[in-house]
Structure 1
Amino acid sequence: MPLKRLLPLLVAGLAAMPASAEELTGTLKKIKETGAITLGYRDSSVPFSYLDGNQKPVGYAMDICYKIVEAVKAKLAMPNLEVKLNPVTSATRIPLMANGTIDLECGSTTNNAERQKQVAFTNTHFLTANRFVAKKASNVNKFEDLKGKTVVSTSGTTNIKQINEYNAAHKFGMTILPAKDHAEAFLMVETGRAVAFVMDDVLLASLAAGSKEPDAYMISKDAISKPEPYGIMLRKDDAPFKKVADEATAAFYRSPEGPATYDKWFTKPIPPRNINLNLPMDAAMKKAFAQPSDSPDPAMY
């Protein structure tokens, strides 16, 4: 075949080839080269990410992460991509994302402007507010009732920062203790070491529902934050990987499968103890699913 006719065929053939590892960057390149994607999970953030009766990480955020994994498999043409699971805490999740240990953080992480300086987020999957849980017998119903009392919040969260700022601004004289995780913080209220646990309302609902005496607890109606978005965390400045995650989550939320998955974890009994959080989608959540956004601004929701 003459060279003039052969060259266009060669060019067309090269254009049809899938992107090579050399052309990939960031997280996609790392996944392609290692043959694995690593998900960071929480062990007690019910129902987002926690260990079931078989010590297997399950939850609403885990289901969303697996949707992103499926999109990555398709993007890289790697149907047998290995999925590794790595435990994280409130304190370790950002460092482990930044240093490349995990590729997705599947939990209950608030997407805010401060964190977006260090990491990125895909589309919002939940909206929450900062409230407290206490025993009904303690007779505390609102934040003003916590003046001079000992409260706890989880180390490394926006919640402990907010309650410290609130305490200082209102001169409430609270003693604020840091706990290593949500389970330890709730235990401190359960055992009387703290009067209240300040945290995102949905996490408080899950801990109370799963406790020995669910009816013994109340969650404050007043909050010290506006509705805050949760998102799956990604590495910062990695546009190609974020594009895959954003497209996968947006399609999932807009499809019937998105609301069905929400209902599975928030309105029905969940493993291992068949607790039911009874938190149906409100108008803000329905809007967040219909109009997917990675905005950290509460006013967007």
Structure 2
Amino acid sequence: MKFSALMAAVLLTAVATGAQAADTLAKIAASGKITLAYRESSVPFSYLDGPNKPIGFAVELSNAVVDAVRKKLNKPNLEVALMPVTSQNRIPLITNGTIDLECGSTTNNTARGKDVAFAVNHFYTGTRLLVKKSSHIKDYADLKGKTIVSTTGTTNVLVMRKYNEEKKLGMDIVLAKDHDDSFLLVQSDRAAAFAMDDILLFGLIANSKDPGDYEVVGEPLQVEPYACMLPKDDPAFKKLVDDTFIGLMKSGEFEKMYTKWFMSPIPPKNTSLNLPMSPQLKENLKAFSDKPAT
């Protein structure tokens, strides 16, 4: 009897797990709606070009997933709901089921992997510093005793705190709500530098009022992958998302999208970032890895 009871419990667990695994696609099918997250100032991945109009490289990745979901579920009129998120609330909104997919500027790392799943990596970046050219700050050592800012809920905060402790620089690290707010602290001289993923810093400078006043300095402290976030323990939805991105990479469409957003003039100021594809990303167009940063 005990063995039979144990087997029944195992079977019930397996059934429950199976039901949970199909949750996202089942939820979308039942509601007729998919909810996508977007960022308001993560240039050129996901940012606003006018009120409530997100655009960017990661937005196009999200849209490709929507097309795949429509085809998979045979729902050509699937509703797409858009929700703005910040670095601080993006993970909770995935874990509680409010949003189905977040494609922005999110680092894929092992700590976050305990709460969410990540698709195939679509970019690689590292922590550097945005400063005013007039500050004459050229590297991290120049920040000794100064105030620097980073954005709440980002891996860059942890990187800078660790570096500050190891090098005994005595920096005062303050946190801002989002990337625009962090940049504002440098613009208004309330912080000497903004520590963030270098690509986001280039994007903010390119779209600023006076791009010639700022520069990105310092060697990257680490290289981390960006990937789209989705609910954990949902292999069916992850496979659909991964297959969508791998298809773009195999067809050459991913490279065309990259050229559009990183090598060509982009809204709102029609400025080009002129950022060639990194060796790590070129390799991942063949490896299709979702390997996290440690």
Q: What TM-score comes out, normalization by structure 2 length? A: 0.91
Matches within 5 A, 1:1-301: 25-225=22-222, 227-297=223-293
Give how far 1:75 is off: 1.2
Give how far 1:25 is off: 2.0
Work out whether residues 150 and 173 of structure 2, in 8 Å CA contact, stay in contact via their aligned partners in 1: yes
Paired with 1:96 and 1:23, the residues of 2 have a C-alpha distance of 17
Paired with 2:197 and 2:212, the residues of 1 have a C-alpha distance of 19
Give me the identity figure in percent: 51
Larger radius of gyration between Structure 1 and Structure 2: 1
Q: Counterpart of 1:192 in structure 2: which amino acid?
A: D
Other-structure match for 1:10: none
Work out whether residues 127 and 229 of structure 1, in 8 Å CA contact, stay in contact via their aligned partners in 2: yes
SS at match of 1:164: helix
Q: CA-to-partner distance for each residue in 1:7-42, whole Å, 9 max, x for gaps?
A: xxxxxxxxxxxxxxx998210011011000000000
Paired with 2:271 and 2:185, the residues of 1 have a C-alpha distance of 21
SS at match of 1:234: strand
Q: Counterpart of 1:228 in structure 2: which amino acid?
A: E
Work out whether residues 128 and 216 of structure 2, in 8 Å CA contact, stay in contact via their aligned partners in 1: yes
Paired with 2:264 and 2:186, the residues of 1 have a C-alpha distance of 26
Q: CA-to-partner distance for each residue in 1:238-281, whole Å, 9 max, x for gaps?
A: 11100100111111122121100011000111112212111021
Task: Give ranges in structure 1 of 5+ residues lacking alignment.
Answer: 1-21
Q: Counterpart of 1:140 in structure 2: which amino acid?
A: I
State the number of aligned residues: 276
Paired with 1:129 and 1:121, the residues of 2 have a C-alpha distance of 18
Q: CA-to-partner distance for each residue in 1:155-210, whole Å, 9 max, x for gaps?
A: 00000111111111211100000000000000110110000000000000011111
SS at match of 1:229: strand
Q: Counterpart of 1:134 in structure 2: which amino acid?
A: V
Work out whether residues 53 and 271 of structure 1, in 8 Å CA contact, stay in contact via their aligned partners in 2: no
In structure 2, do the counterparts of structure 1 residues 168 and 73 end up closer, same or farther at CA, with 3 Å as the change threshold?
same
Q: CA-to-partner distance for each residue in 1:197-239, whole Å, 9 max, x for gaps?
A: 00000000011111122121121131221x2100010011111
Q: What TM-score comes out, normalization by structure 1 length? A: 0.89
Paired with 2:21 and 2:142, the residues of 1 have a C-alpha distance of 55
Q: Counterpart of 1:278 in structure 2: which amino acid?
A: N
Work out whether residues 36 and 84 of structure 1, in 8 Å CA contact, stay in contact via their aligned partners in 2: yes
Paired with 1:34 and 1:53, the residues of 2 have a C-alpha distance of 29
Task: Please identify, of 53-62 and 170-179, the stretch whose mean Cα deviation from structure 2 is larger.
Answer: 53-62
SS at match of 2:256: helix
In structure 2, do the counterparts of structure 1 residues 248 and 158 end up closer, same or farther at CA, with 3 Å as the change threshold?
same
SS at match of 1:94: helix
Give how far 1:54 is off: 4.9
SS at match of 2:117: strand
Give how far 1:71 is off: 1.1
Task: Give ranges in structure 2 of 5+ residues lacking alignment.
Answer: 1-18
Q: CA RMSD in A?
A: 1.4
Work out whether residues 130 and 223 of structure 1, in 8 Å CA contact, stay in contact via their aligned partners in 2: yes
Paired with 2:20 and 2:121, the residues of 1 have a C-alpha distance of 30
Q: Counterpart of 2:243 in structure 1: which amino acid?
A: E
Task: Please identify, of 120-129 and 276-285, the stretch whose mean Cα deviation from structure 2 is larger.
Answer: 276-285
Paired with 1:24 and 1:168, the residues of 2 have a C-alpha distance of 42
